[in-house]
Amino acid sequence: MMYAISAIGAALILAAGHFLPWTITPIIIGLTYAIAALGVSVMMRAGQVSFGHAMYACISAYTVAFIARAYPGTDAITLILAGVLVSVLASAIIGVFMVRYRGIFFGMLNLALSMVLFALLSKLYHITGGTDGLRIPRPPFLGMTLERESFEFLLLGLALVISFGLAWWVQRYFRSGNGAALAAIKTNETRLEYLGFSAYVVMWRGYLLSATVVGFSGSLLALIQGLVTPELGLWLRSGEYVFIAILGGAGHAVGAFLGALVFEAVKLTSSAYFPHLWQFILGFTLIIVIFLFPKGFVGQLSKRMKL
Amino acid sequence: MQPLIKTTGVQLSFGGVIAADNIDFELHSGERLAVIGQNGAGKTTFINICTGYLKPQAGKIYFDGTDITSMTPRKIVRLGMGRSFQLPQLFTEHTVRECIQIAAARQNARLTAFKPLAATVDTREVESTLELVGLREDGDALSSDLPEGKRKLLDVAMALALRPKLIIMDEPTSGVASEDKHGLMQTVMNALDERKVTSWFVEHDVDIVAQYATRVAAWINGAIVADGSPDEVLNDPRIKSEVLGN
């Protein structure tokens, strides 16, 4: 049933993109938020909330920008994969010490590192373009040089495929042995060690997957915007990912997409109708959701249908 | 025959309090050792030392001939030592079956990141472990929803699913209604016999000790003051007055 609903949703999105081309950019940006929140929700399964995961989207996005500018003509698919790869490598190194920490220390250390990256990107003007960022020339897509509309429509299709693939992968991971052990860390890390498993290794693998997923969002965001700026790695952005993950719930991969849908809907409508109050309305929504659905939308859905 | 566990001169103190006082101790395969002693006598501390949670300030610990003195709990478990706790240590957001599956995944030493957990473990083995402790019908229940007696059984079952050579149980009947204690202990002992696992348990209930132990060790102030058959130890006048409070 979940696959059927997802397929219908994807068809509607593609139809919207085809008949209303102006919707493509906001939809892709919404999907990148959902993908990033999906990555954040992986660590939330272990009870760890990162307030710095936007750095992996940022690393991935800047990699896309550097390569696209250094090697014009590089294919969009290659750029996305390169961005994700660098993001994974960075998380593999950072994760070595990051996964030793729990709770507030985990959250704050991630935030601190993301702010170091933000500062570096802002200050190293000659390399990164400073706060103005770097423009990305439109790359070819599967070898084809396309006009803007066609490129964006194909990118929408690719973003949907990546979203499905990542959601399926993450959900598969949640049900795997490593995923079960990651969730066990949340409730009883000591017992996990007394079953002969290394909580450290389990956490590190989870962190790697989490950054990989967030990396995809950065690459896609860079290509649809055609511009990367240090704001991509700002802690506020990480906070938005956490916000979406909490709204949707970490119990199922679909939670991040539900959370992003509601987040974007509330943000767009409240900023349109109450331009001076949209942050208040967004915050109020989160309070209501946490109060009514402590496990997010997906927790509520799980009660009604077998997810 | 080589002892399963052997300690020589194990010492540990916390400030001025001696928790383990030069303990020389051996446990052989097939034994059911009951450890008795007043609260604070050092029983749990000694378990924590032998399972790697605490490191002794002096002395050596061997498990099945391997020096485990400086090993982590994780490595000791991998050698074949399981443990249950006074307060059951469960994965409270997992079902009973999932708790056993995670433990059973240890047997093939892998937690894959892609294959479903249920497909990486031997289903018959998981179900037989649940059956052994009478939790098969509760398999789909959240472990946090179980009553205390069943939580205790699940705690032991998770250790049992590791297929260990030895299980150390810290007060397996504490927190359980007195009328249920014998039933719980009988279930645990039947399961251990079925899997041919040597056991060592801390217990305050003398009836349980007398009925289920083949050997009793009494602890006072971090030292073993009596060690022998249940008859000998439980009828020792010093043990009666200082440990059992008769």
8 A C-beta contact, residue B119 and residue B49: no
Residue B8: predicted pLDDT:
94
Cα–Cα distance between A248 and B216 in angstroms, integer?
55
Residue A268: predicted pLDDT:
86
Let me know if residue B172 belongs to a domain.
yes
User: B27-30: long-range contacts (C-beta < 8 A, 24 or more apart)?
Assistant: B27/B3, B27/B166, B27/B198, B27/B200, B28/B1, B28/B3, B28/B4, B28/B198, B29/B1, B29/B4, B29/B165, B29/B198, B30/B198
Residue A301: predicted pLDDT:
78
Cα–Cα distance between A58 and A221 in angstroms, integer?
9
| pLDDT above 70 as % of chain A | 98
- Which residue among A176, A187, A193 places its CB closest to the CB of B91? A187
Strands A134-135 and A227-228: antiparallel
Model confidence at A91, pLDDT cuts 50, 70, 90, reads very high
Residue A81's Cβ-side half-sphere holds a number of Cα atoms within 13 Å equal to 5
Residue B246: predicted pLDDT:
67
Cα–Cα distance between A118 and A206 in angstroms, integer?
24
How far off is chain A from B219, nearest CA to CA, in Å?
25
The string of pLDDT tens digits covering residues A206-256 is 999 999 999 999 999 999 999 999 999 999 999 999 999 998 888 888 889
| pLDDT above 90 as % of chain B | 72
Cross-strand bridge partners of residue B13: B18
Mean pLDDT along residues A89-113: 95
List the domains of chain A with CATH numbers: 2-11+27-304 (1.10.3470)
Let me know if residue B207 belongs to a domain.
yes
Let me know if residue B182 belongs to a domain.
yes
Task: Provide, as residue numbers in chain A, all residues whose Cβ is less than 8 Å from the Cβ of B113.
Answer: 173, 176-179, 205, 209
User: Tokens standing for A55?
Assistant: 């750095």
Residue of B nearest to A189 (CA): B91
Residue A183 has pLDDT above 80, yes or no: yes
Question: At residue A290, what is the residue type?
Answer: I
Residue A307: predicted pLDDT:
56
Residue B205 has pLDDT above 80, yes or no: yes
Residue A306 has pLDDT above 60, yes or no: no
Instruction: Give the range among A16-30, B19-33, B110-124 with minimum mean pLDDT.
Output: B110-124
To which residue do tokens 């059951």 refer? B88
Residue A6: predicted pLDDT:
80
Better pLDDT: A43 or B244: A43
User: What integer best gives the mean pLDDT of chain A?
Assistant: 91
Q: What Å distances lie between residue B170 and A291, B55, B89, B93, B160, CA to CA? A: 39, 18, 11, 23, 14
8 A C-beta contact, residue B19 and residue B42: yes
8 A C-beta contact, residue A28 and residue A156: yes
Residue A74's Cβ-side half-sphere holds a number of Cα atoms within 13 Å equal to 20
- Which residue among A177, A195, A202 places its CB closest to the CB of B162? A195
Q: Read off the CATH number of the domain in which B183 is found.
A: 3.40.50.300
CB contact under 8 A, A187 and B74: no
Mean pLDDT along residues A262-267: 88
Let me know if residue B9 belongs to a domain.
yes
Let me know if residue B32 belongs to a domain.
yes
3-state DSSP assignment of residue A224 = helix
Model confidence at B52, pLDDT cuts 50, 70, 90, reads very high
Residue of A nearest to B155 (CA): A191
To which residue do tokens 């297929």 refer? B163
Mean pLDDT along residues A102-131: 94
Let me know if residue B13 belongs to a domain.
yes
8 A C-beta contact, residue B34 and residue B213: yes
Residue B63: predicted pLDDT:
95
3-state DSSP assignment of residue B86 = coil
Those residues of chain A whose CB sits closer than 8 Å to some CB in chain B are 172-173, 175-181, 183-184, 186-188, 190-198, 202, 205, 209
Question: At residue A278, what is the residue type?
Answer: W
Mean pLDDT along residues A114-132: 94
What is the domain extent for residue B30? Answer: 5-88+148-242
Residue A98: predicted pLDDT:
94
Let me know if residue B124 belongs to a domain.
no
How far off is chain A from B171, nearest CA to CA, in Å?
17
Let me know if residue B100 belongs to a domain.
no
The string of pLDDT tens digits covering residues B103-162 is 999 877 677 878 888 888 889 999 999 999 999 999 999 999 999 999 999 999 999 999
CB contact under 8 A, A188 and B74: no
CB contact under 8 A, B98 and A175: no
Cα–Cα distance between B78 and B61 in angstroms, integer?
16
Overall domain count for chain B: 1
Residue B124: predicted pLDDT:
92
Residue of A nearest to B161 (CA): A195
Does an H or E element contain B7, and which?
strand B5-14
Cross-strand bridge partners of residue B5: B27, B63
DSSP-derived secondary structure letter, A144: B
DSSP-derived secondary structure letter, B141: S
User: What integer best gives the mean pLDDT of chain B?
Assistant: 91
In chain B the first and final C-alpha atoms are separated, in Å, by 37
Model confidence at A264, pLDDT cuts 50, 70, 90, reads confident
- Angle between helix A278-292 and A235-248 (nearest 10): 40
How far off is chain B from A185, nearest CA to CA, in Å?
8
Residue A168: predicted pLDDT:
93
Residue B189: predicted pLDDT:
94
